Amino acid sequence: MENTIEVKGMRKVFGQNAAIKHVSFNVKRGEIFGLLGPSGSGKTTTIKILTGELGQTTGDVKVLGIDSNRFGTADFKARIGILSDNSSLYERLTVYDNLKLFCRLYNAPLAHIDDMLREVNLEDERSKTVSKLSKGMKQRVLLAKALMHKPDLVFLDEPTSALDPGNAAQIHRGLQKLNEAGTTIFITTHNMEEATVLCDRVAFLHNGELQELDSPNVLRYKYSTHAFHVETFAGDKLVIENERGNADQIRDLIASGQVKTMHTDNPTLGQIFLKVTGKELV
Ligand SMILES: Nc1ncnc2c1ncn2[C@@H]1O[C@H](COP(=O)(O)OP(=O)(O)OP(=O)(O)O)[C@@H](O)[C@H]1O
C-alpha cells in the first residue's frame, strides 16, 4: 500500500532541548494512525512538522508524496486538514458564517457546510454566534472547519479532549465514516480508549522517541501474559498462569460450576504504554 506520510530520521531541536530525537515511521494511505504519548512527549511538534508549521532540524519528511521543503504551497494546504490548538474561529460571527469564510478560502462548495454541521451534530447551532457556544461545541465547529474542503489527509491534535463521552463517540463515528470514504487520519491523543476504538495502528512516543508501532490488537496480544483471570460466584478472583501444568486446575474449576467469569489477560494500551516506557499515558 502506498504511504501517505514518510518520516525518516526526523529530529527537532529547540535550543538545547531535542523535542524529537530520531523518529522514523510511515502512515499508509487510508489508515487511521494514532500517535500516543503523555504531555511533552513531542506529539504537537510532530504534527507541526508534518503540516509545515515547523521545519525539522534534520531528517526526511514527505507527506502526500510532497517533500517538506514544499509544504508552504497552496496545493499542499488544499490537500490537508488540521485541527490543533492553533485552530481558531471568529468569535463574533455565527457558526455558518465562520464555515462560509473557510469555504471561500479553499474554493469549497457551500453545500459542504450543512453536510459537515450534520456530521458534528451542530445543525441547531448554525445561526448561533461562536462566542455563545460551549467549549465542546467550539471544538466541533473547528473539526467541521478542518474537514470542510474534504482533504485527503487530516491531522487531529487531541480532537476530543474538550468533549463529553457522548459527543466524543459521535465524533469517532464521523471520523470512521470519513475514513471509510478514503480520508487518511493522523490523530494524537493520550486517550487510550479513543486510540483502541479508532486507530488501525498506533505509535508510542516517549521523550521524543518512538517505542512501539503496531495495531492495538497486535500490541495487546504481544504484551499479554495469556494468564486466565477467573472470578467465582463466591467473589474470589484468581489468576492462573497459562501453563501446561495448570490445565487440571482450570478443568476442575469449570466442572465445579463455581466460575462466574473467565477471560485471558488483555492489557489496555495504557497498561502497555506504562510497561514499555515506565510512564503513565495521561
Ligand atoms: N516552540 C518551542 N520552543 C521551545 N520548546 C518547545 C517548543 N515547542 C515545544 N517545545 C518543547 O518540546 C517538547 C515537546 O512538546 P510538544 O508540545 O510537542 O509535546 P506534546 O506531546 O504535544 O504535549 P501536550 O500533550 O502537552 O500537548 C516539550 O519539552 C516542549 O517544552
Between CA 210 and CA 263 the distance in angstroms is 31
Mean pLDDT of 15-37: 95
pLDDT at 270 over 70: yes
Q: Ligand 1 within 6 A of 160 CB?
A: no
Confidence class of residue 1 from pLDDT cuts 50, 70 and 90? low
CB 64 within 8 A of CB 4: yes
Assign 128 a pLDDT band (cuts: 50, 70, 90). very high
Over range 251-263, report the average pLDDT: 86
Q: Which of 12, 20, 23, 43 to mutate to test the pocket of ligand 1 (most atoms within 8 A of CB)?
A: 43
pLDDT at 272 over 60: yes
Which tens digit of pLDDT belongs to each residue from 219-237? 998 988 778 888 989 898 9
Note whether 34 and 187 are within 8 A (CB): yes
From the CA of 40, how far away is ligand 1's center (Å)? 5
**Which residues make Cβ contacts (< 8 Å) with residue 241, sequence separation at least 6?**
225, 227
Residue pLDDT, tens place only, 234-256:
898 988 888 878 888 888 888 88
Q: Supply the pTM of this predicted model.
A: 0.87
Ligand 1 atom at minimum distance from 208 CA: 14
User: What are the structural domains, with CATH classification, of the chain?
Assistant: 3-220 (3.40.50.300), 225-265 (no CATH)
What is the largest distance, in Å, between two alpha-carbon atoms of the chain? 71
- Report pLDDT digits (tens) over 190-206: 888 889 989 999 999 99
> pLDDT digit string (tens) for 100-112?
999 998 888 999 8
pLDDT in tens, 132-156: 998 888 888 999 999 998 899 999 9
Is the confidence at residue 265, as pLDDT, over 80?
A: no
Ligand 1 mean position, distance from CA 241 (Å): 42
Angle between helices 135-147 and 95-105 (to 10 degrees): 20
C-alpha pair distances (Å), 102 with each of 90, 130, 279:
11, 15, 40
